[in-house]
Amino acid sequence: MSGADDAAPPRAPAIPVLRVADLRKYYAVGGAAPVGVANYVHAVDGVSFEIGVGETLGLVGESGCGKSTVGKCIMRLVEPTGGSIELAGEDITRLRRRDLQPARRQIQMVFQDPYSSLNPRQTAETVVGEPMLVHGTASGRERKERVSALFDAVGLRPEQMSKFPHEFSGGQRQRIGIARALALNPKLIVCDEPVSALDVSIQAQVLNLLIELQDKLKLSYLFIAHDLAVVAHISHRIAVMYLGRIVEMAPKAALFERPLHPYTEALLSAVPLPNPRAERGRRIILKGDVASPIHRPTGCHFHPRCPYAFDRCKRETPALRPVTNGHWSACHLNEGGAGSQPAFSGMTAATDAAP
């Protein structure tokens, strides 16, 4: 049976800051399994991608598909079951805790809920300065000055340094989270749903701040979100995840103009178009819910919900393959390779009219 495993890791356009190859994370769970037989949550199951210098890769998919687990494996907050993670060419997958320190400075994370990730008893100055204290990169006056500069960089006033997290708004708290992530001059920031808890009016401000900082500091982002419109705002390339696997990966424009995977097509049909003149297909309502990562469907995991599924989809797992330049898809309909017809033209789908 062919699997995603035999596909080469997709290449980013620039020399990669991050290269993830065949990443796997399985969690053993108890429950209804017979004695002696473990059930596994295949949270991440053979994920490969690269991120170039100054590039943002968006990682999108429904809740539970494994996005945060990818982020946590990269941060080594959880230990991967398999695969490798290279940071600027260095394999950090199996570095021991103490050997991991230099790499930890270069990868930072921004979380969804700035409030729960900030210590309520620490002033904003302490929060933002803490990584410098822990890593011993700046002390005393130097640290205070650096924190002040970071406040300025994220659009906060240095006078606000002595305030506590509850004295800031949600958007301001996320700015504090970003300032702290910048404290050690990282190369890469893993942003896990950084604007999902914010009002829509504030979301764009925080996204634009991230874009501005990226330009200034040549940062790379892995930007995780369940909302495709948010991911589209900030990403250069987008990877779409379904049940632990990447099913499609492409430059943003290509993904929006010509989605190759039926799952991406369904996701896109539910978001406002960035280009209003582009043709809007009918809204596709997916049948059923995301399957459980414990009892996954055979073959293509998406087949029970796919309007185009045919017999082979139940039997064979489609590998993630390049279909056109830089555009990867894991779908049996796309296996004609470069120059093949748009996968969905003329095919009948279980669709509903857009509202």
Nearest to 23 by CA among 65, 81, 97, 92: 81
Whether 42 contacts 26, CB under 8 Å = yes
CB 256, min distance to ligand ADP, A? 21
Whether 263 contacts 302, CB under 8 Å = yes
Helix, strand, or coil (residue 102): helix
In Å, how far are 2, 44, 54, 194, 234 from 228, measured between CA atoms?
Answer: 29, 20, 21, 14, 10
Query: Which of Mg ion, ligand ADP, none has residue 164 at its interface (CB below 5 to 8 Å by kind)?
Result: none
Among left, alpha and beta (phi > 0; psi -120 to 50; other), residue 66 is left
Which residue has 């309520």 as its token pair?
Answer: 120
CB 225, min distance to Mg ion, A? 9
Query: Which of ligand ADP, Mg ion, none has residue 65 at its interface (CB below 5 to 8 Å by kind)?
Result: ligand ADP
Which is nearer to ligand ADP, 73 or 343 (by Cβ)? 73
Nearest to 259 by CA among 271, 277, 245: 271
Which is nearer to ligand ADP, 259 or 293 (by Cβ)? 293
Which is nearer to ligand ADP, 81 or 160 (by Cβ)? 81
CB 142, min distance to Mg ion, A? 36
Which is nearer to ligand ADP, 68 or 148 (by Cβ)? 68
CB 193, min distance to Mg ion, A? 6
Residues 6+ apart with CB under 8 A from 259: 248, 265, 268
Which is nearer to Mg ion, 68 or 269 (by Cβ)? 68
Site string for ligand ADP, 37-56 (x = CB under 6 A): ----x-x-------------
Which is nearer to ligand ADP, 244 or 262 (by Cβ)? 244
Name the residue type at position 60: V
CB 220, min distance to Mg ion, A? 20
Query: Which of Mg ion, ligand ADP, none has residue 29 at its interface (CB below 5 to 8 Å by kind)?
Result: ligand ADP
Phi and psi, residue 269, nearest 5°: -65, -15
Residues 6+ apart with CB under 8 A from 205: 171
Which is nearer to ligand ADP, 112 or 148 (by Cβ)? 112
Which is nearer to Mg ion, 12 or 44 (by Cβ)? 44
CB 44, min distance to ligand ADP, A? 7
Rounded Cα gap, residues 155 and 176, in angstroms: 10
* 262 interacts with ligand ADP by CB under 6 A: no
Site for ligand ADP in 58-117 (CB under 6 A): 61, 63-69
Site for ligand ADP in 8-27 (CB under 6 A): 27
CB 294, min distance to ligand ADP, A? 8
Question: CA 273, 197, 237, 346: dihedral to nearest 10 degrees?
Answer: -40
Rounded Cα gap, residues 174 and 168, in angstroms: 9
First to last CA, the chain: 41
Binds Mg ion by CB under 5 A, chosen from 68, 174, 214, 269: 68
By the criterion CB under 5 A, which residues form the site for Mg ion? Answer: 68
By the criterion CB under 6 A, which residues form the site for ligand ADP? Answer: 27, 29, 41, 43, 61, 63-69, 293
